[in-house]
Amino acid sequence: MKYELTQHAIDVMNARSIKIEWIQTALESPSSYHMVSEVEEHYFAIIASEANRCIKVVVNPLHMKIVTAYFDRNMRKKGCKDEN
């Protein structure tokens, strides 16, 4: 993986039982992607093994860091896709 995990990302992965494989899926094959700013990108992916929940991975592309990851209820309602 080309990104490093921040300590916060490691902590939330442990607290939320998020697997690194799910994060890799979102980064490598996102179902949706948002460039929020030059220092923040959001990647989304459906995790079939978790009842088709939508994972969101927040990345700082300038520092090549994964900031956080969590299951996003709002994006799941949209099918884990952008409505635009």
Whether residue 82 is contained in a domain is answered as no
- Quickly state the pLDDT bin for 66 (edges 50, 70, 90): very high
The pLDDT of residue 41: 97
- Tell me how many domains the chain contains: 1
In a domain, 83, yes or no: no
pTM of the prediction? 0.90
**Rounded to whole angstroms, what are the CA distances from 59 to 10, 41, 77?**
13, 5, 22
Average pLDDT over residues 46-53: 93
Q: Is residue 73 part of a domain?
A: yes
Tell me the torsion sign for CA atoms 73, 61, 36, 5.
positive
Q: Give DSSP secondary structure letters for 17-74.
A: T--HHHHHHHHHS-SEEEEEETTEEEEEEEEGGGTTEEEEEEEETTTTEEEEEEE-HH
Which has more pLDDT, 84 or 25? 25
Residue 83 pLDDT exceeds 70: no
Question: Does residue 84 sit within a domain?
Answer: no
Rounded CA-CA distance 81/75 in Å is 7
| Average pLDDT in the chain | 92
Domain of residue 67 covers 4-77
